[in-house]
A and B are shown apart, each in its own frame.
Chain A
Amino acid sequence: MAECCATETKLIYACSGASDVGEIADRVARKLRDEGIAQMTCLAGVGAGLSGYVQSAKGTNINITIDGCKTACAKKTLERIGVKPTSYILTGFGLVKGETPVTDKIITEIAGKIKSTIGTPAVLEQLVAGGCSCGGKC
């Protein structure tokens, strides 16, 4: 759902690739969305150059990408439009592409690891002026 006047908007994108780790990336992103950690939006919309998706990425405080493997399609898709995302690559968490079963246990574990880092100083440093800057008053 579109967010109005948030002081800190987070958008999350998954590579949703064809491999097992791509599927896990997608499901982790959806889980984080369902838990209210970030708003999930469509990487394909950014890749297609659709103005609403592109401008939303550019106008958002924190963009989070979850990629299954180091090819990092989601991260690179945002970088192409000049946006530097907070990037998570699942093979960096020890998952092996082509050899990882897509299970609820793994999805929950990975989502937990990502949640534990979102909001850390390193991520908050990426906050930029933007949003509607209303300080939650409007």
Chain B
Amino acid sequence: MKIEILGTGCVKCNKLEDMVKLAIRETGIEAEIGHVHDIKKIMEYGVMTTPALVIDGEVKAAGKIPPLEEIKKLLGSK
């Protein structure tokens, strides 16, 4: 599973990354995490508001930090 956090480096974007890492630890899912800071690359996803969470190329959330349990569900839905 490939996970990408889209965000230019703000506190909330980094917090989303921390929460995703926590969700991965707690679920035991194997995943590769990347953080996309480049605004042009973020725009290529059609994302207009960050932070955003992308799982295997699909944007699952944008403009908010989903609760931990929701992140776990999103990870498990793949």
Task: Give residues in A with beta carbon < 8 Å to B.
Answer: 1-6, 9, 11, 39, 41-42, 45, 50-56, 58-60, 130-134, 137-138
B60 at the interface (CB under 8 A from A): yes
Interface range, B side: 20 to 34
B42 interface hit (Cβ, 8 Å): yes
Contact A56 B10 (CB under 8 A): no
19 further A-B pairs in the complex, CB-CB below 8 A; given A59-B49, A138-B10: A2-B43, A2-B47, A2-B48, A3-B48, A5-B13, A9-B63, A11-B48, A42-B46, A51-B46, A55-B52, A55-B63, A56-B46, A56-B49, A56-B52, A56-B63, A60-B63, A131-B64, A132-B12, A134-B11
Contact of A59 with B12 in the complex, beta carbons under 8 Å: no
- Can you list the 10 inter-chain pairs with the closest CB atoms, starting with the nearest? A59-B63, A52-B46, A138-B11, A132-B12, A51-B59, A52-B45, A55-B62, A56-B48, A138-B10, A53-B46
- Can you list 20 residue pairs at the A/B interface with Cβ under 8 Å? A1-B39, A2-B42, A2-B47, A4-B7, A4-B10, A41-B48, A51-B46, A52-B45, A52-B47, A55-B52, A55-B61, A56-B59, A56-B63, A59-B49, A59-B64, A130-B63, A131-B49, A132-B12, A134-B12, A138-B13
Q: Complex: how many Å from CA A99 to CA B50?
A: 41
Residue of B nearest to A42 (CB): B46
B75 at interface, CB cutoff 8 A: no
Q: How far is the CB of A3 from chain B (nearest CB, A)?
A: 5
Question: Would you call the interface of chain A mostly helix, strand, loop, or mixed?
Answer: loop
Given A4-B7, A60-B63, also A132-B50 (CB < 8 A): yes
Residue of B nearest to A137 (CB): B11
Best-surrounded residue of A2, A45, A59, A130 (most CB of chain B within 10 A): A2
Question: Interface centre among A5, A53, A137, by most B CB within 10 Å?
Answer: A5
Bound-state CA distance A1–B39 (Å) is: 8
Bound Cα distance from A11 to B61, whole angstroms: 16
* CB 8 Å contact bits of B34-78 with A (1 = contact, 0 = none): 000001001101111111100000111111110000000000000
